[in-house]
């Protein structure tokens, strides 16, 4: 009898130990492949680039340690700060327009009941699936003054066609491409957040006689805050990294987009046109730092306000 | 992603948020250090001749020859060659038949800037291709980086009369060093629409003065056609213009660089084109864009001041104008002169660090000068020849091209090839100056006030050269 009883007890103990070990190990096994790749392709290059940013590799004189010279040079580099300032101004307008549209679309689709909403959702999301270079090429064609349809459209309406690739319109034109590409992506994040809002809240509000508009203002938007925060931070970082669109349009509009139009474009050209990898590394770290500061400042401000 | 965002109202866990932020920021920084693929193409690939459009399967550049040199297969030596010229197999077969002791491992690692970035990476890593395809304007940079073998030790100095003088000057160092074998060239000429010239009574201009007058005359009669489309923002085209006018923007003497971007000929060229643009008698659309292609196809541009690789390129983009084009020498600054310059073309260079420099040099020399294979390059891969033998061969230059009304196109460019000014020098940071120039001139094109862009570029170039450790000559 006793043996019969003790045997299963034994077994439960060992299995539970084994399963405990297994359970403890499981997360590491799952994230393991990622961590390896992350260390190899992200952490190591970052360390190497950081190290490299303290050297100068000159055509005459070779590689020398220069301390913080590259960073000092970047702080005095008006082209770099012009580019940073340009994307920040660009972002303030573009991110607000894009996220307003995303939120409106998400709320609209969430309200729809028929199958049509699937069509809308997919249609708005689809541009995100188009590679940014392809998107920029496509829009570049639409913008062009002789072969694109915009001059014809303007003609039909009877207004003079704006030159969308001219210096005064270029930021608008790029903003349009970026918004078109990312409005759906942000919409999906916001839409998912909408779905987690319990319907009972709306039912209660309805009983209290709240209008649809009041419901949106007092229930939906406050509960969307985390999703809006997230999409805003992503968008701030994305804006600072603005690259593929201006790079692609540059060939079409050398009068409007120079090699230091955005910080990333500038860093890339320093690295691979001028072969000054050390300076490019320093510039890249400063861009990263700016993205960090802006994102954190945004989170700080937006959380402060409501506590 | 969205579940976490909708559940955690953020503000409770600043530590984790901070970590997440740092992570994303790290991604930004790391991304900056990486990929330059699509970028460099547009910026440094201006001379990528017609051949560039055919991209042969992207072999990965593992370039193992550096580690395991030679003698892998009995007495055979492996020579790795990087080139973007399409269908190279044709000539490789011929080479290996003629040189049974050498095996060529051909790799296409992309063109222009892509390949140069890869090459620099390979040099850093110490596993280099033995031979690489490098454009003339990029040679001095690789020489300054110590990346190229002086091939005079392998008999190259005896080849001075083998290649066109303008190209030979571009591969030769100040003290007789030779850093590359000229493979193809791009002497400048003028393509023009004979039908438009006839319709509006325009004579083929032989000087730039006549050309300017023709631009005005044409514009007085029609608003549909411009005599030409000027592309100052394309530094390759612009350099060819400066070169032909006799500008000497760079003089290199060891580690001393003399920069004079706004010398008299350069200002003359800037004022000339800027004036025509400001007067509205020539257009100034950026080149190698769909709109520009359409400009040729629809008859918006009546000429193209263009290099020897342009005739076949034009056939590809302006199909509707078949048979209407003709070729003439480039207009001259002084009546009676016959000065041309070069835009594009490339060399085969032996890369420092190769274990088989002798064989590598043999490969490079054979591919660029062996009569049968160079003939094939000219007719199959459409490289404009670099060898005097081919440039003087009536069989080659006598070919009549239907797109050009049966004209002997190569004959005119072969002559231009012999007239290329041999004094022009590229700086050891050519891609940088090209970029600075495009940045400076771009916003000035519409107004036509181009000369200040020369001065602005000169200032930036001097600052860059000093940063790179060069002494600036006076």
Going by the DSSP 8-state scheme, the letter that residue B224 receives in this structure is: S
Beta bridge partner(s), residue B184: B346
Lowest average pLDDT, out of B114-118, B186-190, B276-280, goes to B114-118
Of A107-116, B71-80, B216-225, highest mean pLDDT: B216-225
Kindly identify which residue of chain A lies nearest to residue B257, measuring between CA atoms.
Answer: A60
Mean pLDDT of A126-145: 91
Q: How far apart are CA B360 and CA B155, in angstroms?
A: 12
The encoded tokens of residue A19 equal 């399963």
Lowest average pLDDT, out of A13-17, A215-219, B182-186, goes to A13-17
Domains within chain A, CATH numbers bracketed: 76-304 (1.10.3720.10)
Mean pLDDT of B263-283: 97
Q: Are B85 and B110 in contact (CB under 8 A)?
A: no
Q: Is B48 on the interface with A (CB under 8 A)?
A: no
Mean pLDDT of A279-306: 88
pLDDT given at position B42: 36
User: Does A248 sit within 8 Å of B38, measured CB to CB?
Assistant: yes
Q: How far apart are CA A263 and CA A226, in angstroms?
A: 29
Burial class, A79, CB count within 10 angstroms (exposed 0-12 / middle 13-18 / buried 19+) = middle
Please tell me whether residue A255 adopts helix, strand or coil conformation: coil
Mean pLDDT of B383-393: 93
Q: Is B9 on the interface with A (CB under 8 A)?
A: yes
pLDDT given at position B135: 95
pLDDT band at A302 (very low <50, low <70, confident <90, very high): confident
Q: Where are the beta strands (DSSP E) in B27-155?
A: 77-82, 102-107, 131-135
Kindly identify which residue of chain A lies nearest to residue B461, measuring between CA atoms.
Answer: A274
Tell me which residues of chain B, numbers 13 to 32, contact chain A at a CB-CB cutoff of 8 Å. 17-18, 21-22, 24-32
- Dihedral of the alpha carbons of B427, B429, B431, B434, in degrees to the nearest 10: -60
Mean pLDDT of B230-236: 96
| Torsion sign across C-alpha atoms B132, B137, B143, B145 | negative
Pick among A146, A260, A291 to test the B interface (most B CBs inside 10 A): A146
> Greater confidence, A73 or A304?
A73
Q: How far apart are CA B80 and CA B359, in angstroms?
A: 10
In chain A, % of residues over pLDDT 70 = 94
Lowest average pLDDT, out of A96-100, B52-56, B363-367, goes to B52-56
Quote the Cα angle for B197-B198-B204, to 5°: 45
pLDDT band at B195 (very low <50, low <70, confident <90, very high): very high
Beta bridge partner(s), residue A63: A57
Distance from CA of A74 to the nearest CA of B (A): 13
pLDDT given at position A116: 85
pLDDT band at A146 (very low <50, low <70, confident <90, very high): confident
The encoded tokens of residue B42 equal 């547009």
Supply φ then ψ for residue B79, to 5 degrees.
-125, 120
Query: pLDDT tens digit string along A25-51?
Result: 888 888 999 999 999 999 999 999 999
CATH of B50-185+343-401, picked from 1.10.287.80, 3.10.180.10, 2.160.20.60, 3.40.190.10, is: 3.40.190.10
Lowest average pLDDT, out of A56-60, A170-174, B80-84, B224-228, goes to A56-60
* Region class of B34: left (phi > 0), else alpha (psi between -120 and 50), else beta: beta
pLDDT given at position B37: 37
Lowest average pLDDT, out of A114-118, B122-126, B246-250, B460-464, goes to A114-118
pLDDT band at B342 (very low <50, low <70, confident <90, very high): very high
pLDDT band at A156 (very low <50, low <70, confident <90, very high): confident
Q: Is B463 on the interface with A (CB under 8 A)?
A: no
pLDDT given at position B36: 35
Tell me: pLDDT of B1 over 80: no
Lowest average pLDDT, out of A60-69, A81-90, B264-273, goes to A60-69
Which CA distances in Å does B38 have to A175, A267, B115, B134, B228?
A: 20, 14, 12, 19, 30
Q: Is B255 on the interface with A (CB under 8 A)?
A: yes
Lowest average pLDDT, out of A68-77, B23-32, B153-162, goes to B23-32
Which CA distances in Å does B456 have to A75, B436, B459?
A: 21, 9, 5
Supply φ then ψ for residue B471, to 5 degrees.
-90, 135
pLDDT band at B12 (very low <50, low <70, confident <90, very high): very low
Q: How far apart are CA B1 and CA B419, in angstroms?
A: 65
Query: pLDDT tens digit string along B389-403?
Result: 999 999 999 999 999
pLDDT given at position B437: 97
Map tokens 């492996």 to a residue.
B78
ipTM comes to 0.86
- Which of B280, B266, B267, B262 minimizes the C-alpha distance to B212? B280
User: Does B469 sit within 8 Å of A255, measured CB to CB?
Assistant: no
User: Does A254 sit within 8 Å of B286, measured CB to CB?
Assistant: yes
Count the neighbouring beta carbons within 10 Å of the beta carbon of residue A122. Answer: 11
Tell me which residues of chain A, numbers 72 to 131, contact chain B at a CB-CB cutoff of 8 Å. none
Q: Are A80 and A260 in contact (CB under 8 A)?
A: yes
- Which of A194, A197, A186, A190 minimizes the C-alpha distance to A227? A190
Q: Where are the beta strands (DSSP E) in A17-125?
A: 55-58, 62-65
Tell me: pLDDT of B236 over 60: yes
Helices (H), B62-130: 89-98, 112-125
Count the neighbouring beta carbons within 10 Å of the beta carbon of residue B142. Answer: 22
Tell me: pLDDT of B76 over 50: yes
Q: How far apart are CA A87 and CA B244, in angstroms?
A: 40
pLDDT given at position A9: 52
pLDDT given at position A152: 80
What are the chain A neighbours of B317 within 8 Å (beta carbons)? none
Tell me: pLDDT of B196 over 70: yes
Mode of pairing for the β-strands spanning B342-350 and B181-193? antiparallel
Domain positions in chain B are 50-185+343-401, 230-281+429-474
Tell me: pLDDT of B60 over 90: no
Q: Are B344 and B420 in contact (CB under 8 A)?
A: no
Q: Which residues contact B103 (CB under 8 A, 6 or more apart)?
A: B73, B76, B77, B78, B79, B96
Query: pLDDT tens digit string along B126-175?
Result: 999 999 999 999 999 999 999 999 999 998 889 999 999 999 999 998 88
Mean pLDDT of A292-297: 90
Please give the mean pLDDT across all residues of chain B. 85
pLDDT given at position A10: 52
Q: B5-11 long-range CB contacts below 8 Å, 24 or more apart?
A: B5/A189, B5/A192, B5/A193, B5/A226, B5/A227, B5/A229, B5/A230, B6/A192, B6/A193, B6/A196, B6/A226, B6/A227, B7/A196, B7/A226, B8/A226, B9/A225, B9/A226, B10/A226, B10/A229, B10/A299, B10/A303, B11/A303, B11/A306, B11/A307
Mean pLDDT of B320-340: 96
In chain B, % of residues over pLDDT 90 = 74
The encoded tokens of residue B403 equal 């797109």
What are the chain B neighbours of A275 within 8 Å (beta carbons)? 120, 141
Q: How far apart are CA B284 and CA B288, in angstroms?
A: 12
């Amino acid at each position: 009898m006793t043996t019969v009883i003790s045997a299963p007890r034994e077994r439960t103990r060992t299995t539970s130990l084994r399963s405990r070990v297994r359970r403890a190990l499981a997360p590491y096994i799952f994230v393991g492949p990622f961590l390896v790749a992350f260390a190899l392709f992200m952490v190591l290059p970052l360390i190497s680039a950081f190290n490299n940013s303290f050297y100068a590799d000159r055509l005459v004189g070779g590689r020398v340690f220069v301390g913080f010279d590259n960073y000092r040079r970047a702080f005095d580099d008006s082209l770099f700060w012009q580019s940073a300032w340009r994307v920040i101004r660009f972002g303030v307008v573009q991110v607000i327009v894009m996220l307003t549209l995303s939120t409106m679309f998400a709320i609209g689709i969430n309200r729809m009941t028929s199958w049509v909403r699937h069509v809308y959702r997919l249609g708005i999301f689809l541009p995100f699936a188009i590679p940014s270079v392809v998107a920029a090429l496509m829009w570049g064609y639409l913008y062009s003054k002789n072969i694109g349809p915009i001059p014809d459209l303007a003609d039909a309406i009877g207004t003079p066609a704006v030159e969308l690739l001219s210096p005064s319109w270029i930021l608008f034109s790029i903003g349009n491409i970026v918004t078109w590409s990312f409005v759906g992506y942000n919409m999906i994040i916001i839409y998912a957040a909408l779905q987690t809002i319990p319907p009972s809240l709306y039912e209660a509000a309805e009983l209290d006689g709240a209008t649809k508009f009041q419901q949106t203002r007092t229930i939906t938007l406050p509960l969307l805050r985390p999703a809006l925060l997230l999409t805003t931070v992503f968008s701030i970082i994305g804006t600072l990294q603005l690259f593929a669109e201006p790079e692609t349009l540059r060939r079409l509009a050398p009068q409007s987009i120079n090699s230091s139009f955005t910080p990333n474009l500038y860093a890339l050209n320093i690295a691979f046109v001028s072969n000054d990898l050390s300076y490019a590394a320093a510039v890249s770290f400063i861009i990263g730092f700016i993205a960090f500061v802006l994102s954190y400042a945004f989170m700080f401000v937006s959380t402060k306000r409501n506590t | 992603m969205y579940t976490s965002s909708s559940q955690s109202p953020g503000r409770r866990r600043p530590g984790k948020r901070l970590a997440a932020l740092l992570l994303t920021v790290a991604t930004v920084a790391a991304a900056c250090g990486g990929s330059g693929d699509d970028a460099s193409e547009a910026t440094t690939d201006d001379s990528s001749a017609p051949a560039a459009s055919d991209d042969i399967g992207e072999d990965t550049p593992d370039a193992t020859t550096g580690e395991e040199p030679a003698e892998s297969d009995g007495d055979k030596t492996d020579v790795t060659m990087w080139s973007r010229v399409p269908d190279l197999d044709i000539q490789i077969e011929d080479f290996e038949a003629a040189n049974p002791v050498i095996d060529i491992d051909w790799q296409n690692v992309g063109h222009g800037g892509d390949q140069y970035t890869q090459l620099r990476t390979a040099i850093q890593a110490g596993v280099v291709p033995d031979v690489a395809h490098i454009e003339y304007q990029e040679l001095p940079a690789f020489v300054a980086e110590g990346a190229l073998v002086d091939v005079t030790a392998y008999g190259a100095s005896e080849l001075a009369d083998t290649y066109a003088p303008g190209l030979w000057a571009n591969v030769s160092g100040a003290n007789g060093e030779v850093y590359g074998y000229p493979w193809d060239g791009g002497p400048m000429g003028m393509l023009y629409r004979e039908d438009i010239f006839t319709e509006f009574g325009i004579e083929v201009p032989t000087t730039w003065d006549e050309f300017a007058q023709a631009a005005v005359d044409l514009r007085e009669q029609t608003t549909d056609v411009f005599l030409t489309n000027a592309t100052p923002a394309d530094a390759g085209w612009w350099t060819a213009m400066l070169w032909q006018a006799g500008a000497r923007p760079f003089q290199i003497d060891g580690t001393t660089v003399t920069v004079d971007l706004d010398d008299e000929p350069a200002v003359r060229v800037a004022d000339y084109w800027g004036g025509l643009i400001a007067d509205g008698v020539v257009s100034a659309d950026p080149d190698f864009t769909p709109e520009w292609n359409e400009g040729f196809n629809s008859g918006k541009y009546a000429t193209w001041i263009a290099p020897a690789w342009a005739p076949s390129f034009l056939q590809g983009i302006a199909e509707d104008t078949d048979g209407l084009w003709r070729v003439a020498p480039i207009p001259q600054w002084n009546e009676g002169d016959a000065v041309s310059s070069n835009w594009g073309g490339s060399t085969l260079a032996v890369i420092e660090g190769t274990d088989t420099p002798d064989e590598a040099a043999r490969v490079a020399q054979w591919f660029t000068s062996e009569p049968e294979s160079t003939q094939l390059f000219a007719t199959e891969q459409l490289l404009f020849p670099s060898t005097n033998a081919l440039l003087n061969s009536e069989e080659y230059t006598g070919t009549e091209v239907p797109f050009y009304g049966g004209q002997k196109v190569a004959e005119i460019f072969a002559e231009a090839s012999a007239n290329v000014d041999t004094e022009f020098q590229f700086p050891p940071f050519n891609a940088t100056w090209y970029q600075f120039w495009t940045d400076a001139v771009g916003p000035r094109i519409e107004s036509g006030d181009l000369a200040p862009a020369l001065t602005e570029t000169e200032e930036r170039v001097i600052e860059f050269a000093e940063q790179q450790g060069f002494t600036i000559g006076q």
